[in-house]
Amino acid sequence: FELPVHIQQKCIVSNCQLTWGEKAADHARLAIPKGTFLHTVPVTVDHQTKYVTIFFSIDDNLKKSVSSEKVESLPFMNSDIGHFMKVQGLLKENIMPDYLQDRNENMSASLPSENNSHGENINVVSLWNLKLYPAKSSMPASFKDAVNAISLATINKSQKMSVSLFSLADLLVLKDVQAMLNFRKSLFKKIF
């Protein structure tokens, strides 16, 4: 980081960037809470490279599944998804996986739940497939947005989020490996 960041105990901060180009005053109180994992992933969205900084508590269970009706109760960031949705100004439909949104649009809610080709119930969600993370135009903007979201969640202050969101599962499909390698190469040159 080119600006001071207070990283508390038991944190993992990976592939994140904060530069002098960002307003220094905005980062005067930048702190990463204890037990937080952050990682920035470059992705290709509409033929452009964007950046998504994922975050969660190191105690979060990314694979824990709940029925889509109980998504608000899913533990996240030392609270739950319902709290996160509230402080981020999100609705349930904003964060649901595409396959579940498509199914809800095309089928009656009274139909029994279905299984996918692997025999898994498709009416369940987890932190892995919920769309919680926005894409930003730069690594610093993405990191700053993630830290802001974490801060809002811990102080019960809300904001309105109006961008497309991505899940961890989405990032595996959309990742921009070349952009990641370019960043690592530039970092290597900067260090040596």
Place of tokens 């290709």: 44
pLDDT at 132: 97
pLDDT at 80: 96
pLDDT in tens, the chain (192 residues): 777 888 999 999 999 988 766 555 454 568 899 999 999 999 999 999 999 999 999 999 999 999 999 999 999 999 999 999 999 999 999 999 988 765 555 544 433 455 555 455 568 999 999 999 999 999 999 999 999 999 887 666 666 665 789 999 999 999 999 999 999 999 888 888
pLDDT at 106: 53
In the chain, the amino acid numbered 105 is E
pLDDT at 58: 96
pLDDT at 91: 94
pLDDT at 156: 61
pLDDT at 68: 94
CA pair distance 85, 109, nearest whole angstrom: 23
pLDDT at 44: 96
Give the C-alpha distances (Å, rounded to integers) separating 126 from 3, 47, 57, 131: 34, 28, 14, 10
Closest CA relative to residue 191, chosen from 69, 152, 104, 183: 183
Helix (H, G, I), strand (E, B) or coil at 15: coil
CA pair distance 35, 9, nearest whole angstrom: 6
